[in-house]
Amino acid sequence: MRKITLHNRIEFWIILFLIIRLIGITNPPLEKGHNWRQTTGLMVARNYLEIDNNILYPRIDDNNGESGIIGMEFPVLNYLIYMVSVLFGYSHWYGRLINLIISSLGIYFFYKLTEKYFHKKLAFFATLILLSSIWFAFSRKTMPDTFCISLFFIALYFGLNYLEKGDIKNLIIYTIVGALGILSKIPAGIYLFIFTIPLLSRKVLLKRKIFFITLTIAILSIVYWWYFIWNINLSSNFGTWYNLGKNLSVGFHETIQNLGLTFKRFYFSAFQGYLFFILLVVGIFFSIKNKNRLMLGVFSLIFLAFIIYIFKSGFYFYHHNYYIIPFVPIMALVAAYPLTLIKNKKLFIAILLVGIIESIANQQHDFFIKDKEKYKLELEQIADTFSDKDDLIAINGNHNPQQIYLTHRKGWNLKNEELKNDLIIEKIKSKGCKYLVVNKNSFAFKLDKEIVFSNDDYCVYKL
The pLDDT value given to residue 236: 87
Sequence-ordered list of residues with C-beta below 8 angstroms from that of 18, at least 6 positions apart, any chain = 100, 101, 104
The helix (H) or strand (E) run that includes residue 459 is strand 458-462
Query: Read out DSSP for 342-384?
Result: ---HHHHHHHHHHHHHHHHHTTGGGGS--GGGGGGGGHHHHHH
pLDDT at 242: 63
d(CA 306, CA 262): 13
pLDDT of residue 145: 95
Share of the chain above pLDDT 90, in %: 89
Model pTM score: 0.93
pLDDT at residue 288, as a whole number: 96
Alpha carbon 159 to chain centroid, angstroms: 23
pLDDT value at position 241? 63
- Close Cβ partners of 303 (under 8 Å, ≥ 6 residues apart): 327, 330
Task: Return the bridge partners of 198, or none.
Answer: none
Decide if 32 contacts 43 (C-beta within 8 A). no
Digit-by-digit pLDDT tens for the chain (463 residues) are: 445 565 789 999 999 999 999 999 999 999 988 999 999 999 999 999 999 999 999 999 999 999 999 999 999 999 999 999 999 999 999 999 999 999 999 999 999 999 999 999 999 999 999 999 999 999 999 999 999 999 999 999 999 999 999 999 999 999 999 999 999 999 999 999 999 999 999 999 999 999 999 999 999 999 999 999 999 999 888 876 666 777 888 989 999 999 999 999 999 999 999 999 999 999 999 999 999 999 999 999 999 999 999 999 988 899 989 999 999 999 999 999 999 999 999 999 999 999 999 999 999 999 999 999 999 999 999 999 999 999 999 999 998 999 999 999 999 999 999 998 999 999 999 999 999 999 999 988 888 889 999 999 999 999 9
Cβ contact 234:57 at 8 Å: yes
User: What does DSSP assign to residue 57?
Assistant: -
